[in-house]
Amino acid sequence: MADRYLHFTGTAPGRFLTRRLGLPRPAPLRRFGPAATDLGGPVILRTAGRSALDGPLPLDEPLTPDGTDGTAGTQAEAPRPAAVVLDATGVAGVADLAGVHSALHPLMRSLAPGGRIVVVGARPSADDHHQAAAQQALEGFTRSLAKETGGGRTANLVRLTSPDPAAAASTLRFLLSPKSAYVSGQVLELTGTAPAAAADPARPLAGRTALVTGAARGIGAAVAEVLARDGARVICLDVPGAGADLERTADALDGTALPLDITTGDAADRIVAALPGGELDVLVHNAGITRDRRLANMSADRWSQVLDVNLAAVLDTTDALLKRGAVRRGGSVVATASIAGIAGNTGQTNYAASKAGVIGLVRSLAPRAAAAHGVTVNAVAPGFIETRMTAAVPLFIREAGRRMNSLAQGGLPVDVAEATAYLADPASGAVNGQVLRVCGQSLLGA
Ligand code: NAD
């Protein structure tokens, strides 16, 4: 399962050979941990033209001395910037795009390896096609920058639908941290108003209860661990057959194990019975299976097993828990899609249908769940993540899957877990109905 090529390219002969042969050179990613709590360098703020926001963007990181006024260049003796944030909310026509070039062009050579580029734009207007063209241009621009920047750097676009910059706080915190190491080339649209800030930003889920399905191993176990790190009391659900693994995951984070097949008819009742006070704040639908075959060879059983676990159970438990008010206001539902649900994949008509279905569910339910229950509904869409699921993929396809993204490597379960924790953070109330790909900007469905 280990990515031996990534280790090899970090050695002297590996560096020599990959350079000479023109092979992919993945950069080791700096992920969040006790020794890496931030990006380790200054953040520069630039503005293209005049900002359309009501106030300054909320940034936790220290700004460079020239960071707030948009003047050119960093000082010669200044450390290399770890991130640049471009406020492009006021870009309203083609001429304004020159300001995007002039703001970022001088910084591109100095941005530190593993650095971040975050472009903040506005929603393309339905009434002004010049503004819409210019704002849509930012998407092509950012996605291209993500592809060419290299060195483990990422670039993402955040669209604000209101002039209140506070709505972007949790999203900027996530994108400007090591927690988003495997998120690149993405567009997030923020709706709604500024949510209340967490009492303790290091433990935004303190006092909250989370349920994670499929938590015995892989991505689900990492999600449970990260939600517990962020302060949540976690109920870890998995099939009864997962036994010891499930107990181990739950014990390690002082959580509760709930052995239960999520497709059983009374699953929602049994979940509610296992919740303290019968309520939760964070519902993570992570359990998922594959039963791959081309459609010509796929039995009805293989088809329905995948649809039952990956989609029907997600719909049923979400409906049941929302209907009985078991998800507290300010809570969140995070479902797990896949890039296969966006791009499609040979041999995965059942799986891709189920994961595309999850995306449909999220987009449709999100505004209604927010209005009726005060709950956000989002999805993560992992790309190639190093787990037992992908270890079972044949060697050649596995190696292609790993490299065919802008970061030239597979992600780790913790990358999906960090994205899930960001969506579950009560401060992310303005993030609703979004499908966040955690795929290193995979070429599939890009
Ligand atoms: P995994 O197979 O390692 O873990 C899945 C877990 O779900 C297992 O512990 C399994 O027992 C549990 N599960 C399966 N059916 C269940 C049921 N009926 N009730 C309760 N639990 C059940 O998989 P993973 O790689 O960690 O994937 C987790 C999620 O991420 C899945 O939804 C998967 O489709 C999705 N995903 C994974 C990748 C990847 O590259 N690994 C990519 C895209 C999407």
State how far the alpha carbon of 444 is from the alpha carbons of 23, 151, 348, 414, 427, in Å: 20, 21, 14, 21, 31
Q: Report the alpha-carbon distance of residue 208 to residue 224 in Å, rounded.
A: 13
User: Atom 37 of ligand 1 has which residue's CA nearest to it?
Assistant: 382
Protein residue whose Cα sits closest to atom 34 of ligand 1: 288
- Provide CB contacts within 8 A for 10, sequence distance 6+: 28
**What is the structure's pLDDT at 73?**
45
Structure confidence at residue 69 (pLDDT): 41
Q: How far is the CA of 124 from the centre of ligand 1 (A)?
A: 36
Q: How far is the CA of 21 from the centre of ligand 1 (A)?
A: 37
| Atom 27 of ligand 1, nearest CA residue | 219
Ligand 1 atom showing the smallest separation from residue 401 Cα:
40
Hey, whose CA ends up nearest to atom 33 of ligand 1?
288
Pocket of ligand 1 from Cβ distances under 6 Å: 213-214, 216-220, 237-239, 242, 261-263, 286-289, 309, 336, 338, 382, 384-385, 387-390
Atom of ligand 1 nearest to the CA of 241: 11
How far does the centroid of ligand 1 lie from the alpha carbon of residue 289, in Å? 5
Residue 127's pLDDT is 97
Give 285 Cα–ligand 1 centroid separation in angstroms.
10
Tokens of 27: 């950069």
| Pocket-testing residue among 182, 213, 219, 311, ligand 1, by greatest number of atoms within 8 A of Cβ | 219
Choosing from 385, 412, 420, 436 the residue with most ligand 1 atoms within 8 A of its CB, the one to mutate for a pocket test is 385
In this predicted structure, what is the pLDDT of residue 77? 67
Separation of CA 145 and ligand 1 centre (Å): 32
> Which of ligand 1's atoms lies nearest the C-alpha of 310?
32
What pLDDT, on the 0 to 100 scale, is given for residue 85?
97
Residue 286 CA, ligand 1 centroid: distance in Å: 6
Choose, from 5, 182, 351, 422, the residue flagged as catalytic.
351
Strands of 374-425, DSSP E: 376-382
Cα dist. 134→85, 128, 191, 195, 375 in Å? 18, 10, 20, 29, 33
What is the 217 CA–ligand 1 centroid distance (Å)? 8
**Nearest atom (ligand 1) to Cα of 287:** 7
CA of 127 relative to ligand 1 center, distance in Å: 43
**Considering only CA atoms, which of 202, 175, 207 is closest in space to residue 188?**
175
- CA 213 to ligand 1 centroid distance, Å: 9
* Angle between helix 243-252 and 218-229 (nearest 10): 20
Q: Whose CA is nearest to atom 2 of ligand 1?
A: 389
Q: Which of 3, 212, 384, 387 to mutate to test the pocket of ligand 1 (most atoms within 8 A of CB)?
A: 387
The predicted model scores a pTM of 0.95
Residue 252, Cβ neighbours under 10 Å: how many? 13
**Three-class SS of residue 237?**
strand
Minimum-distance ligand 1 atom for the alpha carbon of 416: 30
Length of the chain: 446
Q: What is the pLDDT of residue 194?
A: 67
Q: In ligand 1, which atom is closest to the CA atom of 242?
A: 11
Q: Output the pLDDT for position 17.
A: 74
Is residue 5 part of the annotated active site? The answer reads no
Torsion (CA) 88, 94, 96, 97 in degrees, nearest 10: 60
Testing ligand 1's pocket by substitution, the residue of 236, 238, 311 carrying the most ligand atoms inside 8 A of its CB is 238
Domains detected in the chain: 31-190 (3.40.50.720), 209-438 (3.40.50.720)
What is the position in ligand 1's atom list of the atom closest to the CA of 263? 18
pLDDT in tens, the chain (446 residues): 577 878 778 887 777 777 777 777 889 999 999 999 999 999 999 999 899 999 999 987 666 655 544 444 445 567 899 999 999 999 999 999 999 999 999 999 999 999 999 999 999 999 999 999 999 999 999 999 999 999 999 999 999 999 999 999 999 999 999 999 999 999 999 987 767 777 788 999 999 999 999 999 999 999 999 999 999 999 999 999 998 999 999 999 999 999 999 999 999 999 999 999 999 999 999 999 999 999 999 999 999 999 999 999 999 999 999 999 999 999 999 999 999 999 999 999 999 999 999 999 999 999 999 999 999 999 999 999 999 888 888 888 888 889 999 999 999 999 999 999 999 999 999 999 999 999 999 988 76
Provide the pLDDT for residue 437: 98
